[in-house]
Structure 1
Amino acid sequence: MASKEKFPKPPKTKKAGQLICLTICGYRRPGMSEEDYRSHMTQVSGPMTKELMVKYGIVRWTMLHNTTETRNLMKQLFDEHMVNLAEFDCFSQVTFRTIEDYKRMRKDPVYRNQVAGDHVNFADTNRSMMTIGWVTDFIEHGKLVEMDNETKKEASALSRIAGPAEGSTKKTLAATVVVGSFLSGCMASLSLMAVPVLLDTATSSPQLLWQWTRMYHYGHQVLPGMSISTFLLYSYVCIRRRRAPSPKPWRLFALAGLVTVSMIPFTLLIMKPTNDELFRLEAATRAMRLGNIPEINVISLQDTKDMVVKWALMHLTRASFPLFGAVMGAWGFFRQSF
């Protein structure tokens, strides 16, 4: 147990008589059943200790037994905020006014000769863990606990600081979802509308290749930048959510950003060979048209159409990345409570 000199200073909002709580996260002795463990603590160890605690001014002592039955109840409470199940068998909490009260109790002969020695009969002392902290009550006996003026001022200040920040994050996320959806729509429109128009109106291979390269040129000027911008916005939201006092599931927004920007590596790894071939053919037919190359094997119009259709299908797949990112972002937007 830490000495009085090393004990942490109370918070600035400490009221006179603010309590301290010792929490012991215990494991039962190997080979002992949950029923026997709970029975020993409540029927043997508890009665042996409770009067001693009252004698030395202990304010409160509670046991919370974490059994298989109660662990199963957690299945009804798990969500994105609550995902890890504690495996301790018991949580014993002792509340007192000063640490000196608890230290005096531990020096009592009854504690030394009876209580301390009983621990090995039910507890795995090598695995058990413990901590100590200041008690701040918000609800007691079903009623709100009134804060003093100093605490109210600090809470109000924190609310003024956190409020605009949360609102800003919410607006940024909404804008990010809109930008991601717009990006996906722009990309999909090329495959679903622009390419069919090119296929219907082109009368020669050089014409179709020229129209495709111009369409690619204008798309390339806008779409990659929008993808990176959307990724950066999702990253901003992710960082803000992770640093929040009560962090929301920031991983969803991180995944939305990564899915959106995945269109760039998809282009480089999957679509680049087709893009390069279409550019090569366009350059070759243009050179022949200008008379710089006297002889060249010209690709047929049908073969060119087949290549453009192949590109359109891959581009439509690429357009799904920002769409999936927008869906995840929207899901996070509507599920989170800012």
Structure 2
Amino acid sequence: MQETDKDAAGHLRKSVIVSGSGRGFIASLSLAGIPAALHLSGPQGVSVWQVLFNRGFALMPKFAGTTAIAYLYAAYTAHQQGRNWKGLAASAALTVSIVPFTIIFMSSTNDLLFKASAGTLDASQEDVATLIGRWGVLNLVRSLLPLAGAALGFSTLFREE
């Protein structure tokens, strides 16, 4: 069965909404969770960071992967219909790029915070708070990737209609 333009646009709208929602979740960790962690001192602050990290780690890679699949499906459909598909493929890439961003830019901070959480990091409370703050900034930057994917998908949606 051939998918209609209307069906493809519906899939694209869902992808854009999901991508934007993912950005909101990631950003909320930095904008709401990290200030709460920094408000607490010592082990309590790093425990809050650990909970935030665990929730994000459990949800976001799956969320990004699912969203990317939706973008790729929309790109495939657009290509089959002779329409612009490259923006949709780029949206998929931007959305899943949270994973390599994490590995490249956040791993060293994550490792130190894991050690602080386990009580094996020889650092002052100020140093740990600095690490938590750095993680918050990096995470906020990371949240811009799915936002860029959503913006590009949104732009493609309106160019197609």
For Structure 1 versus Structure 2, the TM-score category normalised by the shorter chain is: over 0.9
**Paired residue total:** 161
Q: Which amino acid aligns with 1:324?
A: A
2:88 to 237, 253, 265: 253
Q: Which amino acid aligns with 2:78?
A: R
Alignment of 1:169 onto 2:4: no
The structure, 1 or 2, with the larger RCO (C-alpha pairs under 8 Å, 6+ apart) is: 2
2:132 counterpart residue number: 308
TM-score normalised over the length of structure 1: 0.46
Q: Which amino acid aligns with 2:155?
A: W
Alignment of 1:273 onto 2:108: yes
2:156 counterpart residue number: 332
Between the aligned partners of 2:111 and 2:66, the Cα distance in structure 1 is: 26
User: Deviation per CA, 1:69-116, whole angstroms, max 9, x where unpaired?
Assistant: xxxxxxxxxxxxxxxxxxxxxxxxxxxxxxxxxxxxxxxxxxxxxxxx
Two-structure CA RMSD over aligned residues (Å): 1.4
Check the 8 A contact 2:37/2:46 in 1, yes or no.
Answer: no
Of structures 1 and 2, the larger Rg is shown by 1
Q: Which amino acid aligns with 2:158?
A: F
1:213 counterpart residue number: 50
2:37 counterpart residue number: 198
Percentage of matched positions with identical amino acids: 29
Q: Which amino acid aligns with 1:223?
A: M
SS at match of 1:315: helix
CA drift at 1:298: 4.5
TM-score normalised over the length of structure 2: 0.94
Any unmatched runs of 5+ in structure 2? none
SS at match of 1:272: helix
1:283 counterpart residue number: 118
2:60 to 213, 217, 223: 223
After superposing on structure 2, the runs of 4+ consecutive aligned residues of structure 1 that deviate more than 4 Å are none
Between the aligned partners of 1:298 and 1:263, the Cα distance in structure 2 is: 29
Alignment of 1:239 onto 2:76: yes
Between the aligned partners of 1:284 and 1:197, the Cα distance in structure 2 is: 20
Between the aligned partners of 1:174 and 1:213, the Cα distance in structure 2 is: 34
Q: Which amino acid aligns with 2:91?
A: A
2:23 counterpart residue number: 184
Q: Normalized per residue, which structure has more helix?
A: 2
Q: Which amino acid aligns with 2:138?
A: M
Check the 8 A contact 2:37/2:44 in 1, yes or no.
Answer: no
SS at match of 2:119: helix
